[in-house]
Chain A
Amino acid sequence: GENVEQHPSTLSVQEGDSAVIKCTYSDSASNYFPWYKQELGKRPQLIIDIRSNVGEKKDQRIAVTLNKTAKHFSLHITETQPEDSAVYFCAASIPGTASKLTFGTGTRLQVTL
């Protein structure tokens, strides 16, 4: 089955700096890659997603890049703010099973003042 690895497990940045979280997936057939943000005690919230026919997608301070050849995708957060502090999860799914997400192990991002 699909396997998703996520790095780093923890990341501390100063406010205003950029943060990058990387994921790799094992199944080359995977074609949908969402990112979720989970604050302590709250539900995972979808922050951005990308499909395999696109190499990059941006939404304000957040961007995701996809390298299908290397089976890598990354989340980039620019101009980080304290409210960006949370656990971030990447996920992947293969065609026909879009509702069956395989998640990475999460990255705890701490933005310090």
Chain B
Amino acid sequence: KAGVTQTPRYLIKTRGQQVTLSCSPISGHRSVSWYQQTPGQGLQFLFEYFSETQRNKGNFPGRFSGRQFSNSRSEMNVSTLELGDSALYLCASSPTGPNQPQHFGDGTRLSIL
């Protein structure tokens, strides 16, 4: 089975711009979660989508949003980019059911200039 695929791998943007990141889950996985990883804050949960609905949400401002399509692929959008948004954005997918393991993609490295 192919793993979790994230595109693009690297992005450079400037303050005030917006960005869209994409995640294709492992085939058959319907849950997709997004995390932000920074040296200072570590790994922080952004949100989770299941069956095209946001099921859980972390403590990030409304500039961070996402969506999921009927094929379980997910996108994450960040508007009005700030310098502090520079981070590795990781997507993870898991099968349906309680306490299922999450499998991560390689991430998108976002740099804000």
Contacts and interface: CB of A to CB of B under 8 A. Distances in A.
A100 B101 contact: no
Nearest to B44: A103
Contact of B56 (A32, A45, A97): A97
Interface string A79-113: 00000000001010101111111111110000000
Interface string B48-64: 10100001101100000
B45 A46 contact: no
Nearest to A102: B45
A44 interface: yes
B101 A101 contact: no
B101 A43 contact: no
Nearest to A95: B98
Contacts, number: 60
B44 to A, nearest CB: 8
Interface of A: 1, 31-32, 34, 36, 42-46, 49, 51, 89, 91, 93, 95-106
Given A31-B99, A46-B101, A98-B94, A89 B43 contact: yes
Interface of B: 4, 31, 33, 35, 42-45, 48, 50, 55-56, 58-59, 90, 92, 94, 98-107
Contacts of B42: 89, 103-106
27 contacts: A1-B59, A34-B102, A36-B104, A42-B106, A43-B90, A43-B106, A44-B90, A46-B101, A46-B102, A51-B99, A89-B42, A97-B56, A98-B100, A99-B33, A99-B48, A99-B56, A99-B92, A99-B94, A99-B100, A99-B102, A100-B33, A100-B48, A102-B45, A103-B42, A103-B44, A104-B42, A105-B42
B90 A101 contact: no
Contacts of B92: 99
Nearest to B91: A43
Q: Which 3 A-B pairs have the closest CB atoms?
A: A103-B43, A32-B99, A100-B56
A91 B99 CA distance: 12
